[in-house]
Structure 1
């Protein structure tokens, strides 16, 4: 083989959002990949399975020979063309396989032999970059925050619009967006959440980029460790749990209106766009959500909420607006979410720096960011 360039400058890859070709099989890619990576496999799942079985029973040389028979000249041609097309539109692209070994070397060589294209591969492959991201997320970034006490957590009762504020801030990390889940019993989207590995990769990627651009104050929304089906890694969650808090406040009526908008109107719209024009699938999904938390609600309250929801649906179907949903939302906020929030905030009361409505919170955070900008210690 001719000279095949390597790179292990993982930080530059992340900061530059360098395009990545993942030549692993689709089943490997589905378990976890990197933000922006595209899966253009050297072998499909069945070819990979056959080669793996051969390796187990007959050894390395037999497996390599089988791989070349399966991915013969006719099979490989469109795969090489796909790599070439990607590199022509992404001139700084890199490629990787699992360990940066034979599959990525073969892909490099074929690209050069057939198209004269030289593309670097990741040294150590997916496994090495994944290890780098985990080290950042579990060790380096928590140490950075612990030494400088820079993170702030935006807290507030359900319906105060914390996510709306987070999305207005350049120096914030939207954990719910990364997790693709609103973080509550009703927070699931129609499309699935990322895998735990993908969630960790995306979170580390965004944190590295943000801390490079904004080494001062960083804002996070108050979350439990589990955001839907994914979990914030324990070392990083400890940072969030112990961080100072800024609390956004809003009246119960405002919170009810906002919650109806987010969890009824917008949620129904997403279902309608998927073909559920009469809300039947949405109704079934909502009933399943209520049933899932029935023990925490208590059976008496669960019955009241379910009945209020059914009455709201009858009303909405009759008059065409979701106004009646305020009843069950009021019960959920005042009798379920608020007591949980009060308990959690009692434990964090000593770490609250400021309380106020959204406009005042934004002003406080802007002033705080300016003060930290002038007094921060830059990272090495």
Structure 2
């Protein structure tokens, strides 16, 4: 018979790389939120889950169980083989450690593959994430990258992270670029998915002297940053990056590739159109329709983004700010690395 595993045991074994975590919920549940590095082998697909749920509500729990057994029985050989082929110790979970994970663990164990079941299911993990964030005492200092739109802050952070620097890529965790146009070409993560990614990154860097992050607002797409992280950001060293405008336009074009999403660009622009002087707004809209994206970006920088950024600079004390003037993102990255080597920069 399968054994239960606590969340603490799961996390310990996962850190050691000795565990394969199997999510047996439906694909849409898995897409909505999951335990990091888990694989999805569903007991029911989305339509089957809906059918069983309807029977549960409209007929009876007994009838729902019987229909569930009927559906799952037909896919047992494939299900057992998929689990068996996975490496290492195995643990399965569903939403709350209920019938789906119990059925999955039972049949896999009976087929000769030892397996654990997560006690309390995904709900236990989600409660842990929420409680950890609510009570988190973030120890590292913060270096915060600021700068006009298009200064390649995300690109710089990703480069630094690839070299082993402690980086919180908040836009990456939100799967959103943090602007009106930030969702173009992406599917933004919901709060649950963002929280899950964030808590693991925070714990990863908790013993470091500092972390690097971008100067984000409270909301990034669908995700809201916790208050302690906003406080840490506001208290941190503010690195202000300045790049030539032509370089910024190039970076924006490379990042957004608006020619692949012309309709989405126009739709996003309509959300800010009223905030821009009417003749300029008409010129930007026409440039977007003509797919003259370079002109549209230059006008958006001059008449919308840059003035808003200039206002945001005033919220920080002068001794918090370190300006960096660079030719491109590579130059800016090198200057930041030099800055981080100075022992007195945090004092």
Aligned pairs for 1:217-366 (under 5 A) are 217-263=210-256, 266-268=257-259, 271=260, 282-309=261-288, 313=292, 325-350=293-318, 352-357=320-325, 358=332, 359-366=334-341
Give the Cα–Cα distance (whole angstroms) in 2 for the partners of residues 149 and 233 of structure 1. 16
TM-superposed CA distance for 1:153, in Å, is 1.4
Contact 2:2 2:105 in 1 (8 A): no
Aligned length: 334
Match of 2:35 in 1: 34
Normalising by structure 2, we get a TM-score of 0.84
Match of 2:79 in 1: 79
Give the Cα–Cα distance (whole angstroms) in 1 for the partners of residues 195 and 146 of structure 2. 22
Normalising by structure 1, we get a TM-score of 0.77
Aligned pairs for 1:1-380 (under 5 A) are 2-9=1-8, 11-12=11-12, 15-16=15-16, 18-56=19-57, 60-72=61-73, 74-85=74-85, 87=86, 90-114=87-111, 116-140=112-136, 143=137, 145=138, 148=139, 150-169=141-160, 170-211=165-206, 215-263=208-256, 266-268=257-259, 271=260, 282-309=261-288, 313=292, 325-350=293-318, 352-357=320-325, 358=332, 359-367=334-342
Give the Cα–Cα distance (whole angstroms) in 2 for the partners of residues 261 and 63 of structure 1. 52
Give the Cα–Cα distance (whole angstroms) in 1 for the partners of residues 20 and 79 of structure 2. 17
- String of CA shifts for 1:70-94, please: whole Å, max 9, x gaps: 323x332222222222x2xx21332
TM-superposed CA distance for 1:52, in Å, is 3.0
Query: Where do 5+ consecutive residues of structure 1 fail to align?
Result: 272-281, 314-324, 376-380
Match of 1:317 in 2: none
Q: Over the residues paired in the alignment, what is the CA RMSD in angstroms?
A: 2.8
Partner of 2:239: helix, strand, or coil? strand
**Structure 1 residues 309 and 48, CA, compared in 2 at 3 Å: closer, same or farther?**
closer
**Structure 1 residues 335 and 195, CA, compared in 2 at 3 Å: closer, same or farther?**
same
Structure with greater helix percent:
1
Give the Cα–Cα distance (whole angstroms) in 1 for the partners of residues 2 and 290 of structure 2. 71
Contact 1:14 1:205 in 2 (8 A): no
TM-superposed CA distance for 1:311, in Å, is 6.0
